[in-house]
Structure 1
Amino acid sequence: MVNCAPYAQGLEVLPSALLATIIAKLDVASICSVAATCKTLNACASQILSFLPNFHLLDIAPSIDLLRPLLPPNAYLQSLKVDCSRLDDSAIEHLVRSSLHELYLQNCEDFSGKLLSEVGRRCRDLRSLYLGSVAERRGRAIHISDLEELLSGCPQLETLSLVFDVSIFLRHNLARVLALASAKLTGLKIGYISSVMVTELLSPTVGPHQPPNHIRPSMLPSIQKLCLSVDYITDTLVVTISKGLMSLTHLDLRDVPIMEPTITLDLTNSGLQQINQQGKLKYLSLVRSQEFLLTYFTRVNDLGVLLMAERCSNMESVCLGGFCRVTDTGFRAILHSCSSIYKLSVSHGTQLTDLMFHDISATSLSLTNVSLRWCKLLTNDAITCLASNIDLRVLDLRDCRNLGDEALQAISALPKLKILLLDGSDISDMGLAYLRYGAIGSLVSLSIRRCKRLTDKCISALFDGSFGQDLQHLDISNLPNLSDKGILFLAKNRVPIIELRMRGCPLIGDTSVIALASMHGEEGGRHGSSLRLLDIYNCGGITQLAIRWFKRPYLPKLRWLGVTGSVNREKVDALVRSRPFLHIACHGEELGTDHWDSSDAFYRHDYEEMDELEQWLLEGEDEIDEEMVEFENREE
């Protein structure tokens, strides 16, 4: 047997500065992995956290007790990103640092407006700020004075994302406070604001106590990127933005109507043609959400899009959702006018047909990202033509129900395709086999949810032999003919899936969970070590037996689990307590983030078999599994 002691002693005598220089180049999760290997590196990692420039921890939602040792005093910390689901105002002193240039805090439901005011008081050098869902929990509140302190205290701010409802503030108060925003502010995102408030904020009206000939200067004059969720996208809103923001290059507007818009609260051809009056727009997104009401932009037709396209020849990305009266003529005008366009998204294009793409091969376009969701008139012919763009990396064809195996045959020839979404299409097992001869080699994400013709053979069609080993995200939900046999094949072939969604499959049962939990990796790793997300909500064969296989050491990397809570409420609750880093959803909510929207945002870390982040933070607390053991003994 080889004696490893000399190597351990050698590590201990290495200069601490050398170890620190190497470890400091890692991310937080990797530093914790190193810390779990030996005492020398553990001590070194603890010291590194005192001068680490970037601290990004979005994969888990730490409690204040777990976050405190990870965030010691650190004068060098410039970028901080944390999931605050389990934090409240008591964490502000640990999160808000004077040295920060970037602060990203998501899921801040349990914080009050104090978070905003403290950022303004302490972070004068802040350049980028993201605050999500602040004070959304009952009993929490944000006052206009909190926002005032934030904006007046951060004179260097360049990008600001307030992903919560700012319509709670009075209009004149919000205008007064936004006037305090940094002159360097070029990017603004707001979670919800009424269109009337936006119009009043950006309109050059007469200021208070001023003579009639004194016009208030334009609000937010340096804004280049604007992203707003509003109640209604209207002509007035679009015209005001186009005229008031002279430097705008990115415009992203989404509305969520709760009642059918009247003509004064809607977008028409007249308003659409006013877009891009300065000629600088590169990115345009106009989407009508159907979250609360089945409604469309009924007052826009081909004429409005044709007039808009004349002003948008330099556009690189166009996203249009809910334009039900626009036909192939209007959409084709965008393709033929915007010679530099690389991203095209059309959702709920009820009149979009194959004619849209019939001559696309004759153009010089090089599309890399195409989304045609809910365009139900499209057939295989359209995709065959579209596949002439061999640089396609993202292809979203969800709910295009007339697409079948012929479309897959064309898609298989795309050598750079990373994301393919085919939910609700008419593809078969044989059609999926086409992907093995091309696209499967580059695919990172595949969704075939609700493709009713698929069976267990679809798994072997994708993963037989060495095929499909780079696929990280797989959605096979709502497949009535998919059974444990298919998942057993997946496990047997050691496919290193990171996110596996198979909710609503009536034939999936405990056997699938056991197979995934017991799966061995290619490098000798065990216990389903690659899975970060598993959704088995409403799978017909899942019983309380499956819950046992989610305790450690099985599935150590799992961060998101979707399961039907009624399987065994007590056992699920015990699992929540025994694995504090595991987010368990029992009510059918979709898991994780919307990874379909990005083609290059996939980061795959080479994790060890044990989750060292969890191991390091909870070192010596093996007793947390006692509740699970107690339940098992009681049942036996």
Structure 2
Amino acid sequence: MFDVSSIYLRHNFAQVWALASEKLTSLEIGYISSLMVTELLCTNFVSHQPSNRIQPSILPNIHKLCLSVDYITDAMVGAISKGLLSLTHLDLRDSPLIEPRVSFDLTNSGLQQINQYGKLKHLSLVRSQEYVITYFRRVNDLGLLLLADKCENMESIFLSGFCRVTDTGFKTILHSCSKLYKLKVSHGTQLTDLVFHDISATSLSLTHVSLRLCTLLTNHAVTSLASNKDLKVLDLRDCRNLGDESLRAISTLPKVKTLLLDGSDISDVGLSYLRQVVISSLISLSLRGCKKLTDKCISALFDGSSKLELQELDLSNLPNLSDNAVLLLAKSRIPLLELRMRQCPLIGDTSVMALASMQVDEERWHGNGLRLLDLFNCGGITPLSFRWLKKPYFPRLRWLGVTGSVNRDVVDALARSRPFLHVSCRGEELGVEQGDTADDVYMHDYDEMDELERWLAEDDYLDEDMVADEDMVNAEAVE
């Protein structure tokens, strides 16, 4: 991934890519203007060699193309579809600075040009709202009907920002793509329960479904989706009308591993329906911003059982969650790798001490196996917590989120004393690299040697870090 706009002048861009190897099969560009893409693929480059011969088609064997552009346009989509004959994976994301004019936008005509050769298996069309609230306003149900005509072999579809598409358009996609196993729709402002009403009558076997910010959906949609017993990932973030009945339906899914319920209307009682799923299969659970939840949600979910697969738990932005919930969590000895509790006003030093003292599987190392702990803007965190974030506590911790204003000197001293630890105090989401997006389900890669592993490998490592520890003691003394 790279930014071509700062490297090449526009008129030199085609010349550069004319030299690309024919063996190139996958290309991802961090940012490029749609006009450069169109000009690159629309006309063959005329060589400056004496023969002035016409070069063969640029990038003839590209199978996967991922571009971040200023505007997704009909001209660009048409050039890609006509010029890249082997394309099976197309991922386009734009971030308009202003509302696009018709000549710089995607319309029904552009959708009709996609997948002209019928080889596409993955399609992603995303309009980001990073700079301005904008949608694909020139695409309606007709556009998706035209697209569906060529989608027989499609396996994965991600559509974000199609505000004029109704149930008719989305339903056409579901009924036309018999091989579809991954469906993602974001900002589907007109998508309702009716899309999934008769999904059990189709031959679909969905394993990944994301319906983020589809605010018209209710429990009935989830009940219908639950007929797909192979579902492994279910992302229902910001579907605020979902309640406890949706959890009852989800409890019947035997293979679900990732469940994101941010901002929904669920309660502590409803979470008890998920207990069997938590015990049997769930690896990642997000309950961020579910305002009805209280400390009782921990006992409702876990009920004292520690033999779980759960590795990631997000309890952020829960105004009624207190230290008592974390004490229950620590007592359950659940082997979490990630715990997020940002923006919880009642979480304080007691939670840090409980987690630091927690042991899993009778290990002698304190702080269990947590690799990520997010405590940003938690109301009760004081400099006392930082004493429990020093070695030997939390030996596997890689990412820590705190509020820098608690005591900047202590934060800096902690960062110096633990060089393997990424300490963040500006509120950014932990572990998300620059190229990642909020729409993706993020999974950490922990292959690098962590702090505990280095301690075990080097007997004198603790002695080498004595100076850094002294810095932290001095910072606390200043406090």
TM-score range, shorter chain: over 0.9
Distance 2:312 2:336 in 1: 6
Matched, 1:613 2:454: yes
Distance 1:467 1:372 in 2: 31
Contact 1:163–1:191 under 8 Å retained in 2: yes
Matched, 1:563 2:376: no
Alpha-carbon offset, residue 630 of structure 1: 2.6
Alpha-carbon offset, residue 598 of structure 1: 7.5
Distance 1:519 1:216 in 2: 65
Matched, 1:234 2:73: yes
Q: CA RMSD in A?
A: 2.4
Q: 1:305 to 1:215 in 2, by over 3 A?
A: farther
**Correspondent of 1:419 among 247, 258, 262:** 258
- Rg bigger for which structure? 1
Q: 1:175-574 counterparts in 2 under 5 A?
A: 175-205=14-44, 207=46, 215-466=54-305, 469-574=308-413
Distance 2:317 2:74 in 1: 41
Alpha-carbon offset, residue 297 of structure 1: 0.2
**Could you tell me which amino acid in structure 2 is paired with residue 581 of structure 1?**
F
Alpha-carbon offset, residue 179 of structure 1: 1.8
**Could you tell me which amino acid in structure 1 is paired with residue 355 of structure 2?**
L
**Could you tell me which amino acid in structure 1 is paired with residue 229 of structure 2?**
I
Contact 2:3–2:30 under 8 Å retained in 1: yes
What SS is found at the alignment partner of 1:175?
helix
Give the match for residue 469 of structure 2.
625
Q: 1:444 to 1:438 in 2, by over 3 A?
A: closer
**Could you tell me which amino acid in structure 2 is paired with residue 180 of structure 1?**
L
Q: 1:597 to 1:625 in 2, by over 3 A?
A: same
Alpha-carbon offset, residue 218 of structure 1: 1.7
Contact 1:393–1:599 under 8 Å retained in 2: no
Q: 1:349 to 1:166 in 2, by over 3 A?
A: same
What SS is found at the alignment partner of 2:149?
helix
Structure 2: any 5+ residue segments left out of the alignment?
A: none
Contact 1:284–1:318 under 8 Å retained in 2: yes
Distance 2:284 2:158 in 1: 21
What SS is found at the alignment partner of 2:65?
strand
Contact 1:441–1:467 under 8 Å retained in 2: no
**Could you tell me which amino acid in structure 1 is paired with residue 452 of structure 2?**
D
Distance 2:156 2:149 in 1: 15
Distance 2:449 2:416 in 1: 24
Alpha-carbon offset, residue 270 of structure 1: 0.3
Aligned residues, how many?
473
Q: 1:214 to 1:269 in 2, by over 3 A?
A: farther
Q: 1:560 to 1:317 in 2, by over 3 A?
A: same
Distance 2:361 2:438 in 1: 27
Alpha-carbon offset, residue 525 of structure 1: 3.6
**Could you tell me which amino acid in structure 2 is paired with residue 218 of structure 1?**
S
Structure 1: any 5+ residue segments left out of the alignment?
A: 1-161
**Could you tell me which amino acid in structure 2 is paired with residue 611 of structure 1?**
L
Contact 1:412–1:440 under 8 Å retained in 2: no
Alpha-carbon offset, residue 175 of structure 1: 1.7
TM-score by length of 2: 0.94
Distance 2:328 2:363 in 1: 18
**Could you tell me which amino acid in structure 1 is paired with residue 356 of structure 2?**
A
Contact 2:163–2:188 under 8 Å retained in 1: yes
Contact 2:306–2:334 under 8 Å retained in 1: no
Alpha-carbon offset, residue 631 of structure 1: 3.2
Alpha-carbon offset, residue 217 of structure 1: 2.6
What SS is found at the alignment partner of 1:320?
strand
Distance 1:586 1:341 in 2: 41
TM-score by length of 1: 0.71
What SS is found at the alignment partner of 1:284?
strand
Contact 2:18–2:55 under 8 Å retained in 1: no
Alpha-carbon offset, residue 469 of structure 1: 2.0
Contact 1:518–1:526 under 8 Å retained in 2: no
Q: 1:596 to 1:361 in 2, by over 3 A?
A: farther
**Could you tell me which amino acid in structure 2 is paired with residue 229 of structure 1?**
S
